[in-house]
Amino acid sequence: MPESITPDYVYLVGTLKARPGKVGDLITAVKSIVPGVRTEPGCISYAAFVDRTDPNTVVMLETWDSAAALETHASAPAFSGLAATFDELLSEPPVLVTLQQLA
């Protein structure tokens, strides 16, 4: 494996689809947690995007230094606070895909 690849890193792609009329609230909620999440132990990167082909979809790209760090994040106040709004803001459950870098 090339030296630039860190096999323990966990990459996560999270897709959040807003209910009709709720994308502004979803964006505000997501943007509000980003600074705090970036300071969580094990967070390498944490960024939010709007899908250019579907502006009602927010995509999270995350890198964690370990599976344990990602698990801790899932129960940390920032994310658990956001997750508490999912029933109100999302049209469907979040889609979470975890990845391991190949190249």
Where in the chain are the domains?
A: 10-99
Amino acid at position 82, single letter: L
Q: What is the mean pLDDT of residues 51-69?
A: 97
Class of the CATH-defined domain 10-99 = alpha beta
Residue 8: pLDDT above 70? yes
**75, 63, 56: which is closest to 99 by C-alpha?**
63
Confidence of residue 3 (pLDDT cuts 50, 70, 90): low
Confidence of residue 1 (pLDDT cuts 50, 70, 90): very low
Percentage above 90 pLDDT, the chain: 91
Report the chain's mean pLDDT, rounded to a whole number.
Answer: 95
Confidence of residue 78 (pLDDT cuts 50, 70, 90): very high
Q: Find out whether 9 and 42 touch, Cβ atoms under 8 Å.
A: no
